[in-house]
Amino acid sequence: MIGTIVNFSTILTGSIIGTCIRKFAGKEGGIDEKYQNALFNGLGLATLGLGANAIVNNMGKVGYPVLFIASIAIGTVIGTYLDIAGAFNKLLAKCKGGSKLAEGLSTAILLFCIGTLSILGPIESRLNDNNTYLFTNATLDFVSSIIFGSTYGIGIAAAAFVLFCWQGTIYAFAGVIAPFLNPNLMAEISVLGGIFLLSSGLGILQLKDCKTLNMLPSLIVPPIFYGIMAMLK
């Protein structure tokens, strides 16, 4: 668990550092509006870039090229019915700047949790006592959390606790799920993660609110599909 603890600590530390920058570099406890806009634009474009990179790097590795489309369609219908995005926004509605925080926190959670390093890292740590993936992920998340914290404030630190639960669960069940995480399935999940990041980037840039959180049930479709295919063989 040392790798997950380090990853958790870097996000928490980065969020605090970013919040301090937000507090002391701006006016009345916040960053000047023109700098906020600049950060939002930079963060939105960076998120779009990360999403596009994840899709391009993994699209050729998927076993079923149309599965991610079906996953998005099925998952988004389920998520919309459950109104995951609405429930999340209501949860943060009482916070200062709640709507912006909800946007930033949802993007941060997706960026920190839905990625190859964050999924394979706990498995590699549990089975082979190798924390390289998680230490690499922690370094990337540290920089990202500083940017998120300086843009959205200390509320971003909540993403650290979500990541700890996420990676901790994977670590605990690594022996059970490891045989099912074949390269094709991981590629499918990575493509979906890239789509989520693209959607979040559009939201940060205020181009389109795709309600990314409503897409999250899409992640359960590829494992179910591959499980059914394995049973049919």
Per-residue pLDDT of the chain (233 residues; tens, 9 = 90+): 899 999 999 999 999 998 888 887 665 445 667 777 787 788 788 888 888 988 998 898 888 889 999 999 999 999 999 998 888 777 666 655 556 677 778 888 888 887 767 887 888 788 878 888 799 889 888 988 888 888 888 888 999 999 999 999 989 888 777 777 788 888 888 888 889 888 888 887 888 888 888 988 998 899 899 888 888 87
The backbone torsions φ and ψ at residue 150, rounded to the nearest 5 degrees and listed phi first, read -70, -20
Place of tokens 């969020």: 15
Question: Which residue type is seen at 225?
Answer: F
Report the C-alpha gap between 18 and 1 in whole angstroms.
26
β-sheet bridge partners, residue 27: 30
Measured CA to CA in angstroms, residue 215 lies from 97, 115, 147, 212 at distances of 24, 15, 25, 5
Separation CA 67–CA 188 (nearest Å):
8
Question: Do residues 148 and 15 make contact, with C-beta atoms less than 8 angstroms apart?
Answer: yes
